[in-house]
Chain A
């Protein structure tokens, strides 16, 4: 079993064995993070560039540390302080980075499909760290890793994704990945934040939270992007918290051993109550650790020569 793709652009189209390979590889990587000496020499001499056109703390730091723990040389480029402000195009920036001998480019971009465009124009391997409202594959992989670690499997679990589904790349990647791994996926949010054709992805859509939580094994709470209120997609933050906020009382409808996830950063008291976020059945900090492990696994699997791999 081996990784046979040049890039990691999304979870749509990945096979079950691809996802399993990443999750299986992440488990031994997690042990390295717990050691005194958090470094293995595996990617010595490889270079990884994080090219971020959007603000990010955890994803960028997570990739950077993953690269450093694997002994790769990592460089961060924030678009706000680079030639991008002089008007350089994505493709030209990509080609410049490529020409410096970069092996892997990690890209986050506000436009859906930007990583795919870049992948067509550079020799380096591309990892999508979030593109528009399209996909955020490494977040979904770390969510699935966390679920599998706690529950032993993904097959047959009922996972409820709660919040702003419409604008969420985390939701999309989770739906693709979880469906491939044999989980039942429900999505729940105000109807203004649910894409009308979401059922085509093989999920059940709910606008009432109590129904969506009934018998759920896992609840993945999405961050409410507060700027959406300006667009009139929901009346007030208080009302959202009252109708869709996850609290202890609502969780009683889930399975007794329910697992709560949140990709961060959290709006405490809005989409998730304090006593839920800090409870033992929530794995929100664990998700952060697992994120580094999953990204180490991806860098490792992409660390080989890319010759002989179907692009």
Chain B
């Protein structure tokens, strides 16, 4: 697979502003931090959820609980794979019962990851509501799923590849788009 030159969609600055706006939107929609918890989807949803937690603390002075979800065991393509992907820990060290969970991920694409995450969450507890926050929504949904909070909507073709880099995982910040050349 050859990739053409990258075009940058977001940099450190614009990611920071998007996170700030999403934090305000979460607080506005839920009228504060009561019963609010954040759960990031591994891997890049986790650092993004951590930043939302920090931003919400700056605004409201309250630290909302933060968890990390590994959705590998809930993927719908496991039986078609030759080799099973590596599993990481799910760390949700608090009860989800009657909480409003904001699920956080980097890119929303087909919706299959979010579908798996919903199943994983419901096996851990029974939240009052689940909302979805993503940094990038690139369209092409294959399931009836939409995000409540979006950093940036990016119309793409299926041939394009979106890469999100966050400092905690990749050592650099930015969102870029590339075309898969034939």
Listed in ascending order, the chain A residues whose CB lies under 8 Å from chain B are 1-4, 21, 24-25, 27-29, 31-32, 35-37, 39-42, 45-46, 300-301, 303-305, 307-309
B76's nearest neighbour on chain A, judged by CB, is A41
Interface status of B20 (Cβ within 8 A of chain A):
no
Contact of A304 among B78, B87, B125 (CB under 8 A): B78
Q: A25-B86, A25-B87, A28-B88 are in contact. Are A40 and B78 (CB under 8 A)?
A: no
- The residues of A that contact B29 with a CB separation of less than 8 Å are none
29 interchain pairs (CB within 8 A)?
A: A1-B86, A2-B84, A3-B84, A25-B86, A25-B87, A28-B70, A28-B87, A28-B88, A28-B89, A28-B90, A29-B87, A31-B89, A31-B90, A36-B125, A37-B123, A42-B78, A45-B79, A46-B79, A300-B73, A301-B84, A303-B78, A303-B84, A304-B81, A304-B82, A304-B83, A305-B80, A305-B81, A308-B82, A309-B82
Chain A residue at smallest Cβ distance from B124: A35
Complex contact A40–B74 (CB within 8 A): yes
Measured CB to CB, the nearest residue on chain A to B75 is A42
| Residue ID in chain B nearest A306 by CB atoms | B82
Select from chain B the residue with minimum beta-carbon distance to A37: B123
Report the minimal beta-carbon distance from A293 to chain B, rounded to whole angstroms: 11
Q: Shortest Cβ distance from A44 into chain B, in angstroms?
A: 8
13 A-B pairs besides A41-B73, A45-B79, A307-B82 with CB distance below 8 A are A2-B85, A3-B84, A28-B90, A37-B123, A39-B123, A40-B73, A40-B123, A41-B119, A42-B78, A300-B73, A303-B78, A304-B82, A305-B81
From known contacts A27-B89, A35-B124, A300-B87, infer whether A42 and B82 are also in contact, taking CB-CB under 8 Å: no
Kindly report which residue of chain A lies nearest to residue B89, judged by CB atoms. A28
Measured CB to CB, the closest approach of chain B to A126, in angstroms, equals 17
List chain A residues, Cβ under 8 A from B79: 45-46, 303-305
Complex interface: chain B residues within 8 A of A40 (CB): 73-74, 123
Minimum C-beta distance from B73 to chain A (A)? 4
Within 8 A of A (CB), among B75-130: 78-90, 119, 123-125
